[in-house]
Homo-oligomer: A and B are copies of this chain.
Amino acid sequence: MTRLLPLADEPAPERADAARNREAILTAALRLVETRGVGCVTMDTVAAEAGVGKGTLFRRFESREGLMAAVLNESETAWQARVISGPPPLGPGAPPLERLLAFGHSRMRVNVTHGDLIRAATGHDPVRSRAAAGFALMHVRHLLGQLEVTGDLRFLAFALLAPLEAMALEQQRVDGISLEQIERAWDDLVARVVG
């Protein structure tokens, strides 16, 4: 289709390029964070991995803190997509108890990385992390409903999620508790709550 004028809601070619570029940088940064750990990811390694200049990185994200805040959002969004439409048991298709357990385990592991990202993103983006907590809460509440748990499902979902939140996990790990222990203890908590 040939058009003489660009439509108002269509991004100009430069903007589309910029968006693709941004996405490529975030994908590369997230891959590095997941394989090497937040502490080992510098602006240099991200620029090299994404195949862009370091100047571009600073122009788009201002600082390592800004980039890490963007990576945090990228990671949360990718994880939510897996919950909503990824393969079971995290995604739809598995029985609700199996989904709930998979959700907790996955949330815990994602939140270990997110704790590091939150610290690395100092001063950025607290709003999104509340939105993220809202998504997890809604999902667990939904699964509890499917499991025909009665009572204040929002509160029960909150209690189930709280020990898996980034800062709570960190506190437990400082006390020498392993992720495997937390996982087992969480499964036991779910069994008690679901009844």
Contacts and interface: CB of A to CB of B under 8 A. Distances in A.
A69 to B, nearest CB: 20
Copies in the complex: 2
Contacts of A175: 154
A162 B168 contact: yes
A163 B158 contact: yes
A162 B133 CA distance: 14
A162 B155 CA distance: 11
A184 interface: yes
B185 A155 contact: yes
Interface in A168-186: 168, 171-172, 175, 177, 181-182, 184-186
A76 B123 CA distance: 29
A172 B137 CA distance: 12
A50 to B, nearest CB: 36
A155 B189 contact: yes
